[in-house]
Homo-oligomer: A and B are copies of this chain.
Amino acid sequence: MPAPEHMRAAVNLVWECRTLCMETLYDHCLVMGGPHVAPDHVKAMTDCIQACQVCADFMTRGSDAHAVQCAACAEVCEACARSCAGIDSPQMQRCADICRRCAKTCRDMSRATVAA
């Protein structure tokens, strides 16, 4: 298990990423249309929202299996970051940025097996 303060910081970032993705999908993408509502992009955003949820909940419960969910979340966030980065708008770049940071943190948490 990672140290509690690392875990809590990670949970906060994962929730921040989930919230920004959700607000962006419903308040920005659906309103803008075009490439913002391409099926693969909407699926990538939806996948990210759901993977973040699960990853944060596993960490909050202190489940032994949090590492596997963090690893899965890292991959899903990276895919979402790529999808966001390919759409030319400042909001999508903000979303890509937090997805990349969330992916990095989840990757770190998936490897942290000893409290430090």
**Contact residues of A with B, CB < 8 Å?**
15, 19, 22-23, 26-27, 30-31, 33, 37-40, 42-44, 46-47, 50-51, 54, 57-58, 60-65, 68-69, 71-72, 75-76, 79
The answer to whether B22 touches A30, judged by C-beta atoms less than 8 angstroms apart, is: no
Bound CA–CA A63/B23 (angstroms): 11
* Residues of chain B lying within 8 A (CB to CB) of residue A51: 54, 65, 69
The answer to whether B65 touches A47, judged by C-beta atoms less than 8 angstroms apart, is: yes
**Closest chain B CB from A87 CB (angstroms):** 15
The answer to whether A61 touches B31, judged by C-beta atoms less than 8 angstroms apart, is: no
Further pairs besides A26-B46, A30-B42, A68-B76: 18, Cβ < 8 Å: A22-B57, A22-B60, A22-B61, A26-B42, A26-B43, A26-B60, A40-B64, A43-B61, A43-B62, A43-B63, A44-B65, A46-B63, A47-B65, A51-B69, A65-B76, A68-B72, A69-B76, A72-B72
The answer to whether B68 touches A69, judged by C-beta atoms less than 8 angstroms apart, is: no
